[in-house]
Chains A and B, each alone.
Chain A
Amino acid sequence: MVESVRTAPGRLRRMPARVRTIVSFTLILMVLAVLWESYKWLGQTTGGVWPGTDIGLPVRTNNRAMPHLWDIVAALFRPARRGGDEVLLITLLRAGLFTLRSAFTGFVFGSAFGFFLAIWFTRSSLAERGLMPYVVASQTVPLIAIAPMVVIWGGQAGLPTWLSVAVISSYLSFFPVAINALRGLRSPPATATELMKSYAATPNEVLTKLQMPAALPFLFPALKIAATASVIGAIIGELPAGLSVGLGRALLSFASSFSSAPEKLFGAVFVAALLGLSFVGLVALAERRLIPATRRVSHDPEIAALAAGGTG
């Protein structure tokens, strides 16, 4: 039987999905850690060139450019300053929580705005043809160029700074939602729309009873992109904001002392990544609750098979 010759990946596949995620995540993390340390070791051994050549390695391997991973971890569990009563990780998580507030607010407003745009575009092809180029162009403008303007305008309008940061964050997060929601709202087959119309359904009824449920599976992948984008947006938005708190400020502060304490900058980057991951995790959790497994857009072969064969 095929069952009896299951290999290691086979065993992995038999585990519950959540455990499988954790195991593969850890495995890849270990591989990356080994790669980091071996590259560093290689560079230190050969004096920064490819073995047997004079060709320099692309990245320096000294302790400033690439601190040992254990030094980074150690830095996270040491106070940021001597005699401090709080380890760096806690300081960074605290900063991350502040940033998350802006990111989350930006995510909510950005996604809502993106969804609104998508609905408008399905109703009016004039709006779509007229506005879509601007929607696309908005994402090619470097965020770092508009962030200071938003902060200054927000300050003049009397907004608290974290809210200006949220606006910057929403600027990044609305785009994927608008694009995917538009596609989702258009996904019901023409026959379904015609059927609704034959029941004398109003456009709003078609929207809420047919288009919106159909758009949900398209929406959540976009919301995951929006979640990461809103964290990036919030961090970039904090750079010109002059806030004394937040991950952007911590990154700025550690970047300016990079020469003497690179471990801290890497630690802050790690926490920023953690922040994005947990935000996307939250969205995934919401997706799990809102959409039945059979209708989720997923790369999991078992679920895809179920979806294809099960309901139809």
Chain B
Amino acid sequence: MLKGKTKWRLGAFLLIMAMVATACGDSGSDDLTPINLQLQWFAQAQFAGYYAAVDQGFYEDEGLDVTILEGAVEIVPQQVVASGQAEFGLAWVPKALVSNEEDAGLVNIGQVFQRSGTLMVSWADTGIASPADWAGKTVGNWGFGNEFELTAAIEKFGVADVELVAQNFDMEALLNREVDAAEAMTYNEYAQVLEATNEATGSLYQPSDLNVINFNDVGTAMLQDSIWVSEEWLAGNEDVAEKFLKATFRGWIYCKDNPDTCVDIVLAAGPTLGRSHQAWQMNEINALIWPSPGGIGVMDQALWNQTIEVATGQNVISADPGSGAFRTDLAEKAVAALDEDGLDTTGTNWTRKEITLNPRGE
């Protein structure tokens, strides 16, 4: 039987356990329109423009209270936008078009990245200089819809005898020479190789150790990070969308001119991120955006056509979605407004910075 003291102790124990739950404060809005933006992954320089627009008050200037929802495992931005949990979501064009074939009803209102950031990286001593050299080699790829630039290139060059193998979202397979070539993003995995220590020499791997094939040069590049909204929501909220684009583009222009500050803003959102890795990423992301000949966020029709061609050719989507899948008018209006403010919306003179990577990306 529970004695009095024991009973009291049990009660106290349970009470302490129950007190752990604490309420979470909610943010007040002063006539600002609350907006959610769903990213594809957690905070990193890939999303610096959005973080900068929040940090610098660009969204607030447009009357928007933007909450950035970080991506995570199993979170698909297209689904989050289609379900109405976020007004805006980022996605690669082919992936969003696949969702649209499943009736997601999304429309691309801003094509932020003007080119593809996907590379095929191999060791220089393997002598792979063009897709044709993949013949008879083992080639890694990520799958999950990240492999179509590669499979299209294999088809385009008529490469025979390629062994395609699944690759984790890291560069272990290449570093361990389990594959001859591996998929890598310019702004992430490629840098990770250059942050790893070559155990034979004791220093970091160098770009000269590697051969890189860029899908933009191969001609099978597909459009990547872009801003998607649900068609249904957009019908009554075009003004909000235009304001969002204007503030977002202002954020990206800010990061073009102040990459170091933008890296700091990103680092503040992710305490485990390495500084030099994020500085590298910021630089490479800027390279994917700038120059934007038609103004930032305005769709490059030729690249859209190429994306659709590859996507239908690889059976990613069953048919050309037609011209309704994207619109440029909102982005063009936002760019025009920024031009009026005297901002550089094309970045014609932007040049790549020289970034030194530290070991472990620190």
Contact = CB atoms under 8 A, between A and B. Distances in A.
B13 interface: yes
Interface in A243-299: 243-244, 249-250, 252-261, 263-264, 286, 289-290
B170 interface: yes
| Chain A: interface size category | 35 or more
A63 interface: yes
Nearest to A111: B17
A213 B267 contact: no
A81 B6 CA distance: 49
5 closest residue pairs by CB, A with B: A260-B195, A261-B360, A160-B24, A242-B72, A148-B74
Secondary structure of the A contact surface, majority rule: helix
A257 B74 contact: no
A155 interface: yes
A155 B269 contact: no
B273 A81 contact: yes
Interface stretch (A1-9, A29-37, A101-109, A126-134): A101-109
Interface string A118-154: 0000000000000000000000000010011000100
A242 B273 contact: no
Contacts of A95: 271
A244 B42 CA distance: 7
B20 A261 contact: no
Interface string A298-312: 000000000000000
Given A62-B199, A83-B275, A290-B6, A239 B73 contact: yes
B235 interface: no
Contacts of A86: 271
A138 B141 CA distance: 35
Interface of A: 60, 62-64, 79-84, 86, 91, 94-95, 101, 104-105, 107-108, 144, 147-148, 152, 155-156, 160, 162-163, 208-210, 212-213, 239-244, 249-250, 252-261, 263-264, 286, 289-290
A80 B1 contact: no
A180 B115 CA distance: 59
A101 B176 contact: no
Given A108-B20, A257-B277, A261-B360, A241 B72 contact: yes
A64 B195 CA distance: 12
A148 B85 CA distance: 14
A101 B73 contact: no
B197 A209 contact: no
A242 B275 contact: no
Nearest to A292: B6
A82 B69 contact: no
B85 A155 contact: yes
B85 A82 contact: no
A157 B360 CA distance: 40
B274 interface: yes
Given A64-B175, A239-B72, A242-B71, A261 B195 contact: yes
A62 B69 CA distance: 37
Contact of A260 (B18, B275, B359): B359
A259 B170 contact: yes
A79 B360 CA distance: 12
Nearest to B358: A82
A254 B83 CA distance: 30
Given A209-B1, A261-B195, A240 B74 contact: yes
A137 to B, nearest CB: 22
A94 B272 CA distance: 12
Given A105-B21, A259-B170, A244 B43 contact: yes
A202 to B, nearest CB: 15
Contacts of B2: 208-209, 212-213
12 contacts: A81-B275, A82-B276, A83-B275, A105-B21, A152-B85, A163-B21, A240-B73, A244-B70, A255-B170, A256-B169, A256-B170, A289-B13
B192 interface: yes
User: Of residues B21, B72, B75, B274, which shows the largest number of chain A Cβ atoms within 10 Å of its Cβ?
Assistant: B72
Interface string B83-113: 1010000000000000000000000000000
Given A242-B69, A244-B43, A249-B72, 7 more contacts: A147-B74, A213-B1, A243-B72, A244-B269, A253-B272, A260-B195, A260-B359
B10 interface: yes
Contacts of B74: 144, 147-148, 239-240
B196 A242 contact: no
B270 A253 contact: yes
Contacts of B273: 80-81, 253
A261 B42 contact: no
Contacts of A91: 271-272
Given A81-B273, A83-B275, A91-B272, A242 B75 contact: yes
Interface in B65-79: 69-75
A133 B362 CA distance: 50
A259 B175 contact: yes
A60 B178 CA distance: 12
Given A82-B275, A244-B70, A256-B169, A60 B176 contact: yes
B192 A257 contact: yes
A290 B172 CA distance: 50
Nearest to B71: A242
Contacts of A241: 72
Interface in B258-290: 267, 269-277
A102 to B, nearest CB: 10
B72 A257 contact: no
Interface string B322-349: 0000000000000000000000000000
A274 B260 CA distance: 36
B72 A240 contact: yes
